[in-house]
């Protein structure tokens, strides 16, 4: 009887100790911190880690989709009417983007590399072939005219040549020519006077099977938050195109990777060489991709707002004080003087005047918002970059009756979705993480169960004595 009581009371004491241990672990956050420590050590750019392999050669397929804006009323535009455009696309390309010329620096704390991108046309994912015709603005002519707008004599000579050769403000070219290059008549003529001038023009001419410059990244060895963060680009730690130090800063990663252990309150910084600036994204909502939980981050409208809305953007007004409005960015300074303005597709989040000036603009958050869906571990689930820099627009000069208008040419949707194999691996990581994190709660649950067992055994120990006492008189009779 004494041994039985000792066992029962031992269960009670054990249940209390387990409860105390479980509650202590929950309050001290030991297991989540342990898990984070393990992830931080693993997610480092060094040979042999999965993080390095995924960074060097991303496993999920990346697709680049081009949507062109076909002009439908060229004669009316010449008479001063607003342009009317129809979106045509997508024309889809598989993008291969391995890191090459990888070289570790400073005892493994940094790594140098170039990000070579190659595009392969995907007919089965496209609206039509690369031979489809698109009518759009004559970009070489607009570029040349913009460069000589302050030289009246040269501008008049160019205008006279264009009239004599039947070159107008608009041109019709194939999708392949507009993207990858065609020989332009005006540029060919100018090449006679300027031999070093390239007479081939394309929106992405010389951008296939090439890289955007030399990067040096932090590996995350010293600080996990520095994982894949850009240290220098083309040997520089800051830009030179903008008018303030803040706007010239190179912040964050190149957008293809992010540091581990991401929370909802973080700001994700990215540097885009195409956009010629850094930008950031904020948490919007929770998502699930192929069953894997994640957070959605989006660039807020403040990123591309006018200085009246966001004074920090004053440096992006070039020349100083020349601001076009919210939602658009003049990048001519970093595009060899070409009159290029950047915006989100269909002028999403831009001033209403830009939408009204071109018939056919239909801004829509679902289709035109850049989104980053990322697991808290730091692994991208879905990346849809409706590249603000990749809707390429050109500014008309006052030529004849043509009014000044920002004219959309093409926008890009660069997207990547986590592949099934990576999703399965991430499922395992998430499941293991949940088990580790929930160990304290399991201990609390076990303590409660043992406490309940203790209470039941105590009641059963007392109950037989009462029953025997009640039965005694019946036996005597």
Query: What single-letter DSSP state applies at residue 296?
Result: E
Decide if pLDDT at 403 tops 90. Answer: no
Mean pLDDT of 241-257: 94
d(CA 128, CA 70): 14
Maximal CA-CA distance, the chain:
135
Mean pLDDT of 290-311: 91
d(CA 245, CA 240): 9
Q: What are the tens digits of pLDDT across the range 330-386? A: 888 888 777 788 889 999 999 999 999 999 999 999 999 999 999 887 777 777 776
The residue whose two tokens read 């540097």 is: 271
Sign of the CA dihedral with 263 first, then 265, 266, and 267 last? positive
How large is the C-alpha radius of gyration of the chain? Answer: 32
Q: Half-sphere exposure of 10 toward its Cβ, with a 13 Å CA cutoff?
A: 6
> Is there a domain that residue 442 lies in?
no
d(CA 347, CA 424): 38
d(CA 370, CA 299): 7
Contact present, 199 and 86 (Cβ < 8 Å) = no
> Is there a domain that residue 362 lies in?
yes
Asked if residue 175 has a cis previous peptide bond (ω within 30° of 0), the answer is no
For 276, the token pair is 């010629």
Give the count of domains, the chain: 1
Q: What are the tens digits of pLDDT across the range 190-209? A: 888 888 888 999 999 999 99
Neighbouring residues of 452: CB distance < 8 A, sequence distance ≥ 6: none
> Is there a domain that residue 320 lies in?
yes
d(CA 111, CA 19): 48
> Is there a domain that residue 431 lies in?
no
Decide if pLDDT at 287 tops 90. Answer: yes
Question: What is the residue range of 76's domain?
Answer: 60-418
Q: What are the tens digits of pLDDT across the range 45-82? A: 999 888 899 899 988 899 999 999 999 999 888 887 88
> Is there a domain that residue 105 lies in?
yes
> Is there a domain that residue 244 lies in?
yes
Angle at 32 between CA 29 and CA 36, to 5 degrees: 130
> Is there a domain that residue 47 lies in?
no
d(CA 37, CA 436): 13
Q: What are the tens digits of pLDDT across the range 105-142? A: 999 999 999 999 999 999 999 999 999 999 998 888 88
Mean pLDDT of the chain: 84
pLDDT class of 165 with cuts at 50, 70, 90:
confident
d(CA 378, CA 357): 41
> Is there a domain that residue 215 lies in?
yes
Asked if residue 90 has a cis previous peptide bond (ω within 30° of 0), the answer is yes
């Amino acid at each position: 009887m004494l041994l039985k009581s000792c066992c029962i009371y031992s269960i009670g004491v054990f249940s209390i100790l387990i409860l105390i241990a479980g509650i202590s672990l929950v309050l001290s956050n030991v297991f989540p911190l342990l898990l984070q420590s393990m992830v931080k050590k693993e997610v480092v750019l060094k040979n042999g880690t999965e993080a390095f392999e995924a960074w060097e050669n991303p496993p999920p397929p990346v697709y680049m989709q081009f949507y062109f804006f076909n002009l439908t009323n060229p004669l009316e535009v010449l008479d001063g009417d607003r342009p009317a455009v129809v979106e045509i696309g997508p024309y889809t390309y598989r993008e291969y983007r391995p890191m090459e010329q990888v070289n570790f620096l400073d005892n493994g704390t940094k790594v140098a590399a170039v990000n070579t991108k190659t595009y392969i046309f995907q007919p089965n994912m496209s609206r039509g072939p690369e031979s489809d015709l698109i009518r759009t603005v004559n970009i070489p002519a607009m570029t040349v005219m913009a460069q000589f707008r302050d030289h009246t004599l040269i501008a008049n000579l160019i205008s006279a040549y264009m009239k004599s050769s039947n070159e107008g403000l608009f041109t019709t070219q194939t999708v392949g020519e507009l993207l990858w290059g065609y020989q332009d008549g005006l540029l060919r003529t100018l090449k006679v006077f300027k031999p070093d001038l390239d007479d081939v023009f394309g929106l992405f001419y010389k951008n296939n099977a090439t890289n955007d410059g030399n990067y040096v990244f932090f590996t995350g060895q010293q600080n996990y938050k520095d994982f894949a963060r850009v240290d220098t680009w083309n040997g520089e730690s800051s830009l030179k195109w903008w008018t303030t130090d803040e706007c010239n800063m190179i912040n964050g990663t190149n957008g293809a990777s992010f540091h581990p252990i991401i929370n909802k309150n973080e700001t994700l910084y990215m540097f885009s060489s195409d956009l010629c600036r850094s930008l950031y994204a904020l948490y919007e909502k929770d998502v699930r991709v192929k069953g894997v939980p994640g957070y959605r981050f989006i660039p807020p409208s403040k990123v591309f707002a006018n200085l009246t809305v966001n004074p920090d953007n004053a440096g992006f007004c070039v020349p100083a004080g020349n601001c076009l409005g919210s939602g658009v960015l003049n990048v001519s300074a970093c595009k060899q003087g070409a009159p290029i303005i950047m915006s989100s597709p269909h002028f999403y989040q831009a001033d209403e005047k830009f939408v009204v000036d071109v018939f056919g603009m239909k801004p829509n958050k679902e289709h035109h918002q850049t989104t980053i869906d990322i697991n808290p571990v730091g692994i991208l689930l879905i990346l849809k970059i409706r590249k603000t820099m990749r809707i390429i627009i050109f500014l008309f000069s006052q030529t004849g009756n043509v009014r000044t208008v920002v004219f959309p040419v093409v926008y890009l949707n660069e997207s990547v979705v986590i592949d099934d194999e990576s999703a399965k691996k991430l499922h395992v990581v998430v499941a293991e993480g949940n088990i580790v994190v929930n160990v304290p709660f399991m201990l609390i649950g076990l303590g409660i169960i043992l406490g309940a067992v203790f209470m039941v055994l105590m009641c059963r120990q007392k109950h037989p004595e009462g029953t025997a006492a009640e039965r005694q008189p019946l036996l005597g009779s």
